[in-house]
Amino acid sequence: MKQKCVLVLLALVLASCKRAAPQPAADNVAKIGANDYVIARRERITTGPTLSGNLSAQTEANVRAEVAGPLVDVRVNEGERVTKGELLARIGPGAISAQQSSQASAIASLRNNVALAEKELARQQSLFRSGIVAKATVDAARAQVDAARAQLAQAQAQSATTNEQSRDTTVEAPLSGVVTKRWVSQGDVVQVGATLYTIIDPSEMQLEAAVAADSLQDLRVGTPIEFQVQGFDGKVFGGRIARVNPEADPTTRQIKVFAEIPNNGGALASGLFAQGRLQNLTRIGVIVPAAAIDHRMTTPAVTRVRNGVVEHFDVVLGVVDDQNDRVEIRQGVNEGDILLVGAAQQLAPGTRAEVPAAAQQAGDAAK
């Protein structure tokens, strides 16, 4: 009686196991559940060092004030697209207009002085030829002409500078892109060098990312990368390494890399955090989830159901994608094969097994 109670308790314990191996039914056929199998498929697999970092625009411009004065017209707001040369704002000319008027009057007066000095030089030269005046008198008249011309040239140069400043009161976009920041408002008084706008070209992004220093040998300019960002439901974006910092961070022991990211559709935004990896090795082959590989023995193996019978055999692995838990099987498995995972791998070779119809259909479709 005591022995019978022990057997009953043992049966209850075994029945309570969460993922017990599928048990043969009365007809000695193991029923394979929907979570007990995977399908081997021919797919692309990639491996390489992981990276993470922030996206930013490859081309960014801070538009600064070239002259001081009040902002009398501010036309563009954050988020708006602009084209190169488009008017962004105007700075009130203030004293510049008065300076232009004063300089114009001064130039007119100096031109008159030059004309008078040249006329006097011509008269003295005529008198010198007649022997009436000495050569020193002619030289003095010529010096007056040179001085008048120099004064006129200086005034014209000053006027050109003022006119340039007047043109600088009109603030234009230096490139086509999107305004990401407007630093001022209409009515603000700005000084020379004050930042008015920040504009980026969103068509070409840059990923500044960190890679473990032990992957330095894999970092090459031109190496493709793939990455994901939050908010895109797992969508994978791509780019290429453009620059590699030759110095590792002494604290994190990581290497900084810069990748060029095409963004013609404008989906990506500056400031997003990205996680991905370098695509050092990409191959098309028979790919299975890592859970399908049985590592209990010294040689990797799989458990397969073929023609309703369980098989257990060694395989040769290829590329291992640790990030996505996928493995390439170079030898031993064909696309469309039904492989067991989890506790189902414990079924003994030769056991008759029945897989769901969906498994058979998926396997046939993958062949």
Say yes or no: 302 and 266 in one domain.
no
Look up the domain containing 318 and give its range.
19-45+284-366
Say yes or no: 276 and 205 in one domain.
yes
Say yes or no: 240 and 358 in one domain.
no
* 224 vs 245: CA distance, rounded Å: 17
Say yes or no: 68 and 184 in one domain.
yes
Say yes or no: 160 and 269 in one domain.
no
pLDDT band for 17, please (50, 70, 90 cuts). Answer: very low
330 domain residue, yes or no: yes
Identify the DSSP state of 269.
Answer: -
362 domain residue, yes or no: yes
10 domain residue, yes or no: no
pLDDT band for 20, please (50, 70, 90 cuts). Answer: low
pLDDT band for 27, please (50, 70, 90 cuts). Answer: low
158 domain residue, yes or no: yes
Question: According to the per-residue pLDDT averaged within each range, which of 95-99, 123-127, 139-143, 155-159 is highest?
Answer: 139-143
138 domain residue, yes or no: yes
- Total number of domains constituting the chain: 4
Say yes or no: 288 and 310 in one domain.
yes
CATH number at residue 139: 1.10.287
7 domain residue, yes or no: no
Say yes or no: 193 and 207 in one domain.
no
Say yes or no: 72 and 179 in one domain.
yes
CATH number at residue 257: 2.40.30.170
Q: Does the pLDDT of residue 5 top 50, yes or no?
A: no
* 300 vs 166: CA distance, rounded Å: 78
Last residue of a domain, one of 262, 282, 302: 282
13 domain residue, yes or no: no
Would you say the pTM of this structure is higher than 0.85?
no
Say yes or no: 30 and 142 in one domain.
no
Say yes or no: 69 and 176 in one domain.
yes
Please choose, from the candidates 283, 305, 308, 279, the residue with its C-alpha nearest in 3D space to the C-alpha of residue 292: 305
1 domain residue, yes or no: no
Q: Does the pLDDT of residue 23 top 60, yes or no?
A: no
Sheet holding 189-190, edge to edge: 170-172, 87-91, 69-74, 189-190
